[in-house]
């Protein structure tokens, strides 16, 4: 089982970015982009005692790990992490779009792949055709904004890492707010982490949504077009005896945010992972977003599953889409009129065609 100690060796300075304080003051009121599926179990809100218990565990482990690191000698240990990172940088990653076009990070366009409908033991999944336009009320989260969502099946994923290029934002209308984020889904609900665009200050702040929204401070802010290296979101217990998992948001090996979750060991074989770029707007009707986000990009996307130390490229797993209780879930565009791709760049704006 992977533990929080994989990244918490970054020292006591990380404590000052804990997300248990009030959300950053200059942030807009967040928009809940993707409501829970109708069939998921809606857990009750975690009370303050639970949050405090998890907070104490995080602080205890962070302080202990920082002391351990200080005592370690670095002279007799090779820089394995740097070597592994360089290997990932030099690797050739393949990428398949939702319509089946296959690209290589080093060789460009490779051709098209035929995608088969996915069937698992729990539910029959019908492949979504991204060229079809469905009413937004037939798409999970469809009335919360325009988005491109890529999602893997419920196979017990616990981490996702990539380089993220933030889009250029322009022309936002009233109540519109861009988001770029990762997420985990299970029957217990959904959590997410990434970057939230601040319409008043025109910058991007890191955040986690887990029973509320928690924002990083201005030392972690980014701007349009910035490439953010090695952005990781993962689930782990602070100590192995804990009941619940925490959610960690890490940028270039620096811990940015931690938040408690409602997830326990019973969820570890059924978590799905996703990545999204969007412009959120309450009561989106499929036609009433004015703003534009240009050239957002996820590169070198790696994911891992519980009880497995090795991460693998996203392309080694099957994306899923299914229709359930009258709504579409998983990988899809909401709507095709708003989602535009140029190789691995994704842009959100209303088509004039």
Angstrom distance (rounded) from CA 268 to CA 133: 34
Give SS3 for 12: helix
Per the document, the length of the chain is 353
Model pLDDT for residues 5-15, shown as the tens digit of each residue: 333 333 323 33
Q: pLDDT: is 8 or 268 the higher one?
A: 268
Of 266 and 85, the structure prediction assigns the larger pLDDT to 266
**What integer pLDDT is reported at residue 79 of this predicted model?**
57
Residue 54 pLDDT level (bands cut at 50, 70, 90): low
| Structure token pair of residue 54 | 């998890």
Helix and strand totals (H; E) in the chain: 2, 21
| Sequence-distant (≥ 6) Cβ neighbours of residue 244 within 8 angstroms | 50, 54, 237, 260, 261, 262, 263, 264
**Predicted model pTM:** 0.67
**Euclidean distance between CA atoms 271 and 261, whole angstroms:** 13
pLDDT class for 84, splitting at 50, 70, 90? very low
pLDDT in tens, 206-239: 999 998 899 998 999 999 999 999 999 999 998 9
Q: In this model, does residue 35 exceed pLDDT 50?
A: no
343 pLDDT band, cuts 50/70/90, is: confident
Does 136 score more than 60 pLDDT? yes
Region 291-309: mean pLDDT is 95
Does 351 score more than 90 pLDDT? no
Q: Which residue has the higher pLDDT, 94 or 174?
A: 174
Region 76-90 average pLDDT: 49
Phi-psi region of 71 (alpha: psi -120 to 50; beta: other; left: phi over 0): alpha
Task: Say how many C-beta atoms besides its own lie within 10 A of residue 340's C-beta.
Answer: 18
């Amino acid at each position: 089982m992977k533990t929080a100690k994989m990244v918490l060796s970054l020292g006591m300075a990380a404590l000052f970015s804990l997300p248990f304080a009030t959300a950053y003051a200059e942030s807009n009121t967040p928009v809940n982009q993707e409501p829970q599926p109708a069939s998921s179990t809606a857990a009750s809100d975690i009370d303050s005692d639970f949050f405090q218990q998890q907070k104490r565990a995080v602080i205890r482990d962070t302080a202990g790990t920082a002391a351990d690191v200080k005592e370690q000698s670095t002279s007799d240990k090779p820089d394995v992490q740097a070597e592994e990172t360089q290997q990932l940088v030099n690797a050739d990653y393949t990428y398949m779009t939702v319509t089946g076009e296959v690209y290589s990070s080093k060789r460009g366009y490779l051709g098209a792949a035929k995608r088969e409908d996915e069937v698992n033991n729990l539910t029959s999944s019908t492949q979504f055709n991204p060229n079809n336009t469905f009413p937004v009320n037939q798409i999970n989260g469809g009335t919360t904004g325009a988005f491109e969502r890529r999602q893997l099946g419920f196979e017990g994923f616990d981490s996702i890492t990539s380089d993220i290029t933030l889009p250029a934002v322009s022309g936002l209308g009233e109540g519109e707010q861009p988001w770029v984020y990762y997420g985990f889904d299970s029957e217990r609900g959904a959590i997410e982490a990434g970057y939230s665009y601040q319409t008043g200050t025109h910058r991007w702040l890191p955040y986690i949504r887990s029973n509320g929204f928690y924002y990083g401070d201005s030392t972690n802010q980014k701007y349009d077009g910035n490439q953010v290296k090695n952005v990781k979101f993962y689930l782990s217990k602070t100590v192995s005896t804990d009941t619940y998992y925490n959610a960690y948001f890490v940028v270039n090996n620096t811990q940015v945010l931690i938040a408690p979750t409602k997830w326990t060991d019973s969820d570890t074989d059924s978590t799905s992972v996703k990545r999204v770029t969007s412009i959120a707007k309450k009561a989106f009707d499929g036609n009433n977003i004015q703003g534009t986000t240009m050239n957002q990009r996820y590169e070198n996307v790696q994911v891992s599953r519980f009880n497995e130390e090795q991460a693998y490229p996203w392309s080694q797993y099957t994306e899923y889409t299914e229709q359930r209780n009258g709504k579409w879930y998983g990988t899809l565009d909401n709507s095709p009129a708003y989602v535009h791709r140029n190789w691995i760049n994704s842009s959100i704006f209303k088509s004039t065609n």
